[in-house]
Amino acid sequence: MRVVLLGTGGSAGVPMIGGADGTGDWGRCDPTEARNRRTRSSIVVESAGEERLLVDTSPDLRTQLLACGIPRIDAILFTHAHADHITGLDDVRILNRIAGRPLPALAIAPVLAELTARFPYAFRPWTPPGFFRPVLETRAIVPDGVLDVAGLHVRTFAQDHGYGASLGLRIGAFGYSTDVVRLDDAAFAALAGVAVWVVDCFGLTPHPTHAHLDLVLAWAARVGARRTVLTHMGTDIDWVRVGANLPPGVELGFDGMVLEVG
């Protein structure tokens, strides 16, 4: 199994819009370090049979797929309905054209309801032959469930995202926990034995909706993955300064990073 980190940034990306000269607000991140440039968080998981599951449709989806050389997607799973995880949905129409069919969209029922309300045109029945708009077929899933999609066996678990909830994923020896501030015992049980865990780490200090570095390090010690890779990082997380001080087995992710998971 192969996992590609399409984007590893927070909801505003790095750099954020602004800066003294208008070319970006980098915060504590060194603008000369390419791995500090982060688009919004999303991943692709590729099965042994080369089917691909896209997790979330970030507003940077088009440039992410082009940069990572990913030409085809077989299904999409949404972790939650925040804008930085869904507003690239219109670009799915090109993925429809490549696949030649509607694509399944998997999410819990409230997220599907939000998606269909915000993008109603994407969920209307397909009228062949063309794809002038995205065409998605809904598939409701549940937290703390199991499902098979795109050649992958996926276990879902609930995560506390502060003012809402998100889905965590366990796919074989891989775990994915974006947009989370608290994990319960059931989540840790779902993650038990993962070899690679990609986890939200927005900043260096506590945040109401995202994990911060000290909390993530405590979680990583409990999960015990061989590799814990940080994602959804904001402008406090500098690649060199923060990365050099992480314990063994914990590392910063970067846009385009490829993880081979046995």
pLDDT tens per residue, range 12-69: 999 999 999 999 999 999 999 999 999 999 999 999 999 999 999 999 999 999 999 9
pLDDT tens per residue, range 81-92: 999 999 999 999
- Rounded to whole angstroms, what are the CA distances from 215 to 26, 202, 220? 23, 11, 9
Alpha-carbon span 79 to 17, nearest angstrom:
25
pLDDT the model gives residue 108: 99
Alpha-carbon span 228 to 56, nearest angstrom:
20
Which domains, from first to last, does the chain contain?
Answer: 2-260 (3.60.15.10)
Residues, the chain: 262
Q: What is the pLDDT along the chain (262 residues), one digit of tens a residue?
A: 999 999 999 999 999 999 999 999 999 999 999 999 999 999 999 999 999 999 999 999 999 999 999 999 999 999 999 999 999 999 999 999 999 999 999 999 999 999 999 999 999 999 999 999 999 999 999 999 999 999 999 999 999 999 999 999 999 999 999 999 999 999 999 999 999 999 999 999 999 999 999 999 999 999 999 999 999 999 999 999 999 999 999 999 999 999 999 8
Q: Which two tokens stand for residue 219?
A: 């979680």
CB 204 within 8 A of CB 234: no
CB 16 within 8 A of CB 25: yes
Alpha-carbon span 230 to 243, nearest angstrom:
10
Chain-centroid distance, C-alpha 9: 10
What pTM was computed for the model?
A: 0.98
pLDDT the model gives residue 262: 82
CB 79 within 8 A of CB 55: yes
